[in-house]
Structure 1
Amino acid sequence: MFGMLSVLAEFQRELIAANTRDGLAAARARGRKGGRPSKLSPDQIALAQRLYDAGEHTVAQIANMLKVPRTTIYGHLNTRRMDSAPLAQESAVVADQPARTPRTCPTCGHEPTTRAEAAHQRADLAVTWLHPDPHHRGTVVSRHHCRHCEPGQPAFDIACSVCGDGPVLAGALAEQAKNGHLSEPVQRWLTAAEWAVTPDLLCPGHAYAAD
């Protein structure tokens, strides 16, 4: 009897899985996708991509224009697209120019090769990402990433309540923040960086103004 029950249970699981796959396939055939609905419409996503590709707006500025967090913009942008116009041959001006320039990503070492990519990289490297310190439990480390080494989801945008600027949390720190809790290591980092964490999050510039 127990053997028959286990066979029936396994058959039921396989039947449920097959029905789920068939349902998803039918939904995709009708042009529907699963998951949470996007906060941005297709037109807004296209606008964000055009602004980003033009190299004249940072991700933070685009997010402010569309009234969404920076992490939403990061999730929709195709940040690996590059402009075809090459950078000027600056090395020809200075014969002994070092191989690594200020445009070089400090995390992965990538150096842009086009004007548009250089503009994007300067803006991307201006964003501070906070990660759990792999060597010291209970602490965080700050890093700067270009589009090639930028962390994926989960990510959480810490935004000043006045200007909307601030660091981005990655990994487990982001998961904790999405549950409505900034971990103690993150709060210590913000305090050390002269942020105000209570009653509102305020960046150093606006924290001093509030005082």
Structure 2
Amino acid sequence: MTQFKLIADFDCSWPTQVDRSVIEELMTLQFLADATHGVGKKMCACNLGCQAILSSQTALFVIAGQLLGDLAAPDSDSALRSKLRRYAAPDVLLIDEVGYLSCSNRHADLLFEFVSRRYQHKSTVVTMKKAFADWGEVFPNAARVVSLVDRLMHRVAVMRIEGESYCAKEAQERLAARAGQRSGKSGRSKS
């Protein structure tokens, strides 16, 4: 389970580039009224989901691989339609790790169908490390990629956060603190 970090605790000085005003605007949830999509980082997506719930909206956070596996599992059309309705229902759906793993044709078809169902009706937020231009490496069919990106990019708010991983930064800080504690203990034991 990932530890939840509040947007208020986000260190805007760490990334090499971040547009805090875009993040703050998204936190108002105005994008839900227009069924606008969002693209950004996990921490921002979690905060948007939390804000939506606090504002009496429905939200669902799901890992892309889990979503696609769940949609691909049903062995009947009625079971698939039921799963599609479940994932299409929330006011805001937050899909994490899109583009981390390569997709089969079946998964790409399901993602396209799913995004198309929500398109212009409900807001979808995706987190990803790959730029849309690189999605051809993940999805097997170029036409599918163009159509999927077209739907996601229409009326989109992009949270670009560039720089080294915040997780790596925190890990380095923990290592440095532990090293300091160890050297402090060894210095006391010598006296």
Name the TM tier (shorter chain). Answer: 0.3 to 0.5
Q: Which has the larger radius of gyration?
A: 1
TM-score scaled to structure 2, two decimals?
0.33
TM-score scaled to structure 1, two decimals?
0.30
Higher strand share: 2
The structure, 1 or 2, with the larger RCO (C-alpha pairs under 8 Å, 6+ apart) is: 2
Higher helix share: 2
